[in-house]
Amino acid sequence: MLEELAAGQVTLATVWLLGVSMGLTACTVTCLPFMGTWALGRASGQREAFVHTGVFLAGRVATYTVLSSLAGALGFGLAQALGGSWGNALIGGASVLAGVWLLRPADRRCSPGSPPTVAPVRWQRKHDGLPPLFLGAALSLTPCTPLASLLALAAQSGSPAQGAAYGLAFGLGAAMTPILVLVPLAGRLGRELRAGRAWLSRWLVRGAAAVLIVLGLRRILLAA
């Protein structure tokens, strides 16, 4: 990538492949503890799990696009600024928000036709997609070599529009990630654990919320 950048031979396909390489490796390792815990704590149904995963990835794609557009307008200063501590602070804040959100009172209504032996789950409430969206946007700020390369390429282009195109291609590549499968599996595991175990339902929610809050506080301490 860096050699192609120096030679001026980078295409949108190259940037997309760079995003794919990150989505299949670093993205999964970094993001799964957050989104997997969120889905497990909510005991997400299949539809909700896929919707929240999609919202999470949309947050990442949008953030990469905006960052690259800004890099195209502002130059290399943005890439240097991202090397600071504020990225970890935003990730920590988003994770703490997700943990607190899980602790909100659940809607105890059962869906039509639900067997009485299945413990009530936390059905979709208004704005429940916000924590995954914020997590996706914040985790896009994790300093890494692929992100630095993307912003350097956008800065070199000198064009906000070209930078946005690079960011969009990179984000769509990064969306090709095992998280698309692993997060719904975590939600299904949560549902299976809760089935017929009302007492476990409360502890599962509290445990997942505690994990997200601890992960967030750890990130915030790293930023201090």
pLDDT at 70 over 80: yes
Model confidence at 174, pLDDT cuts 50, 70, 90, reads very high
pLDDT at 12 over 80: yes
Interval 45-54 mean pLDDT: 90
The reported pLDDT for the residue numbered 112 is 44
pLDDT at 114 over 80: no
The three-class DSSP label of residue 109 is: coil
The reported pLDDT for the residue numbered 83 is 58
Model confidence at 206, pLDDT cuts 50, 70, 90, reads very high
pLDDT at 109 over 70: no
The reported pLDDT for the residue numbered 75 is 78
| Percent residues over pLDDT 90 in the chain | 50
The reported pLDDT for the residue numbered 145 is 83
CA distance 170 to 14: 9
Place of tokens 């602790």: 103
Highest-confidence segment of 45-49, 60-64, 121-125, 190-194: 60-64
| Percent residues over pLDDT 70 in the chain | 83
Least confident of 37-51, 78-92, 99-113: 99-113
Q: CA separation (Å) from 127 to 15, 98, 115, 214?
A: 33, 12, 27, 23
Place of tokens 């529009």: 161
- State the Cα torsion 70-16-32-128 to the nearest 10°: 60
Place of tokens 């943005």: 78
CA distance 209 to 147: 29
Interval 164-180 mean pLDDT: 95
pTM exceeding 0.75: yes
Interval 137-160 mean pLDDT: 88
The reported pLDDT for the residue numbered 107 is 53
Interval 186-196 mean pLDDT: 86
Helix (H) or strand (E) holding 33: helix 26-42
The reported pLDDT for the residue numbered 62 is 97
Mean pLDDT of the chain: 84
The reported pLDDT for the residue numbered 110 is 43
The structure tokens listed for 150 are 């993307």
Backbone angles phi, psi at 188, to 5 degrees: -65, -40
The reported pLDDT for the residue numbered 86 is 78
Q: CA separation (Å) from 168 to 13, 23, 59, 163?
A: 11, 14, 11, 9
Across 7-39, b (16+ Cβ under 10 Å) vs e yields: eeebeeebbbebbbbbbeebbbeebbebbbbbb
> Could you report how far apart the first and last alpha carbons of the chain are, in Å?
33
